[in-house]
Homo-oligomer: A and B are copies of this chain.
Amino acid sequence: MGGTGDTAPGSGAARRRPVPSSEVAKLAGVSQKTVSRVFNDEPYVSDEIRQRVISAARELGYRRNNAARQLTSGRSHRLGVVSLGTALYGPASLLVGIERAARALGYALSVVNTAEGDADGIVGAVETLLNQGVDGIVLSEPIDLGPIRLVSDVPVLSLGQLPGVTAPLVITAGSTADVPARMATEYLLGLGHRTVHHVAGPQRWYSARERAAGWRTTLLNAGITPPEMVEGDWTAASGHAAGQRLAADPSVTAVFAGNDDMAIGVIRAMARAGRTVPADISVIGFDDIPVAAYVNPPLTTISQSFDSLAATALAALVRGIERPGETPLMNDVQFGGIVVRESTAPPRS
């Protein structure tokens, strides 16, 4: 299975050098400044001249030079996103939501990934973005790689808790994965389970910590001592390993997994160990990945709405960028809830 690559040379278009506004001006018989006026929709340009400029520009294939615009205005209209280099459903969905929101606000996106093991990780990624001249920075699902001292010249939006950030403006949003985690745990308790076990995501991820915290708090509030938590790495494989350990303990009747992949791994391990889901054991996931409704059994899970989170948070960031000084307020976000399917049930007996 080799993939072949075709390279076609100058397929038609020669690489023409870009056309500056001065050439448009010459063709239209006006000054360069007037061309600039037309393209910025400034008033005080007669309709006739406006039309002449527009058609001259079209004829020459004029395109405003962003670098020059940025040089004069000091604004690039680009946001930098620091993302994890992963195709996990949650982070990937969040990125899609961020792009959509940014574009709606008139901003382009520069994306830099940080490998999870990368030492200078987030700090280096931010540095890269600052060097590129972004107007603001979005930290999507930051993870803890040890205490950091992150200094940014531009406003920062952190989608997830992240201490140690210094910037003209710091906005933190989406830091409440503990709320849905509570819902999941409460739901299982409400079904009659004595306790709920947790297969957690890697605790370097702030989102994993928040989910674990929500689970723990709920149990404590109910007067239950939280059982030992099993830590996975978001993969179904780690969920499977965790499931094998939990299957060996006959007192386990309900499991809250930190994401759907791990939940699927847990269910698989239970099946292998001869324990039926949900009759013997209830399992609830987190994310509502697209296949969640079609695995066997269909997975009860927590659904989040990344789009509205991204839209709300980015709107606040952009306000902070465009009106320095003001502290933008962020509205609360509704971001989903529990989706009950067939992997959860009241305990036996």
Chain A residues within CB distance 8 Å of chain B = 1-18, 63-68, 70-71, 74, 76, 78, 85-89, 92-93, 95-96, 99-100, 103, 108-113, 128, 130-133, 151-154, 165-176, 179-180, 183, 235-237, 239-240, 260-261, 264-265, 267-268, 271, 289-291, 293-296, 298, 309, 312-313, 316, 320, 324, 327-337
Contacts and interface: CB of A to CB of B under 8 A. Distances in A.
Contacts of A92: 87, 92
A176 B316 CA distance: 44
Contact of A295 (B8, B17, B264): B264
A109 B71 CA distance: 20
B3 A173 contact: yes
Given A172-B6, A264-B294, A332-B3, A71 B67 contact: yes
Nearest to A76: B67
Contacts of A109: 110-112
A74 B337 CA distance: 49
A166 B13 contact: yes
Given A3-B175, A71-B67, A153-B15, A108 B96 contact: no
B14 A293 contact: no
Residue of A6, A67, A293 with highest tally of chain B CB at under 10 A:
A67
A241 to B, nearest CB: 11
A1 B113 contact: no
Nearest to A306: B87
